[in-house]
Amino acid sequence: MVGKYGIVHRGILLNTGESVAVKIIHKSDLTEKDLNSLKRECRIMYELRNHPHIISLKDFCQDSANFYIVEELAEGGELFDALSRRTSYSEREAQNLVRTLLYTLRYCHEKGVVHRDLKPENILLKNSDDYLDIKIADFGFATHVRNMIRMECRRMGINH
């Protein structure tokens, strides 16, 4: 899979046999600002790594040409896509899913972390059989906050 800054491959951790996602990011493609964002993202993911509903950072390493971010693999794909394929979805299932999502966001906020890019594409399923085992991913815009943040959102020329 090709992302904004690199390519994602499936890999296997040699010491455990666990399947993982490996993001390969070419150093030459990064500006200084991009590099700072990448480091911040990895620090935040490391801090949140033990939560069961946040994609965990397994490793971060580099060579002369690339950075390698090794993350938990969410084989179920995007939640939105999985729900779109279903013919029915009960109110109870929706309640449980939203509850899980809100508890996970509360955990982030208690740690002083704001995701800032929560959207259907960034909510993944650990596997395709369990619609409650969600994983929040992509902490590229996340930041630490000490006080309330306030920012203007603009999309397609509309101010909110």
User: Tell me, what DSSP letter sits at residue 5?
Assistant: S
Based on the residue annotation, tell me whether 117 is a catalytic residue of this protein. yes
Spatial separation of the C-alpha atoms in residues 19 and 125, rounded to whole Å: 15
Spatial separation of the C-alpha atoms in residues 133 and 157, rounded to whole Å: 36
Spatial separation of the C-alpha atoms in residues 15 and 40, rounded to whole Å: 27
Count Cβ atoms within 10 A of the Cβ of residue 58 and give its class: 0-12 exposed, 13-18 middle, 19 or more buried.
Answer: buried
From the list 29, 59, 81, 117, the catalytic residue is: 117
Strand 19-26 relative to strand 6-12, pairing: antiparallel
Closest to 59 (Cα-Cα) out of 6, 23, 28, 29: 23
**Catalytic (active-site) positions:** 117
